Amino acid sequence: MSMLQQFNAQSTPFWTNQLQNGLPFMNNLQNFSSGTLAQSFQPAQASLNRSLSGLGSTLPSGMAAQLQTDLGAQEGEAFDQNTVANLMANQQAKTQAATALSPFAPAAAATSAGGSVLSAPPVQSSGIGNIIGGAVSGLFQGAGTAAAGGSTLLAGI
């Protein structure tokens, strides 16, 4: 059994489950984000209640109820945004699984690895290779300048 076949035999069950079911902790993620959201709105709710209690009945009719409703609407909008973000993360996990299960995945990985090596910047160290390369380059440049009638230190070499 080749290394690729062995790898596929070990990884395929994981990716298949991820493709079919998404993130295994999706329910926990949703519960966590809901709980932290509720906690984050508690100080605003408490502050609003303190402010309203100090005003007594001097507010216009329905104003206190509307302020409570507005705060609830903001919390609901934040909940919706968190839910959409969690669903997008789940969809991204399924997409990643589908990509990993593709028969072209090993070739794509090899191609991207090769491309990253080819697009890497040159090494900027002062190793012996750079010193020799610089000297040889200087010799060729010096020879070209000397042939054109210029003077360099290496023109006689």
Per-residue pLDDT of 71-100, as tens digits, reads 999 999 999 999 999 999 999 999 999 998
* pLDDT over 70 (residue 126): no
Q: Quote the radius of gyration of the chain (alpha carbons, Å).
A: 33
* pLDDT over 70 (residue 62): yes
Residue with more model confidence, 148 or 37: 37
pLDDT tens digits, 103-112: 887 666 666 6
Predicted model pTM: 0.59
CA distances (Å), origin 96, targets 1, 90, 107, 112: 26, 10, 16, 16
Give the residue among 31, 124, 134, 136 at the shortest CA–CA distance from 83: 31
Residue 26: the pLDDT is 94
Residue with more model confidence, 56 or 52: 52
DSSP 3-state helix, strand, coil percentages of the chain (rounded to 5)?
80, 0, 20
Give the residue among 117, 157, 121, 118 at the shortest CA–CA distance from 139: 157
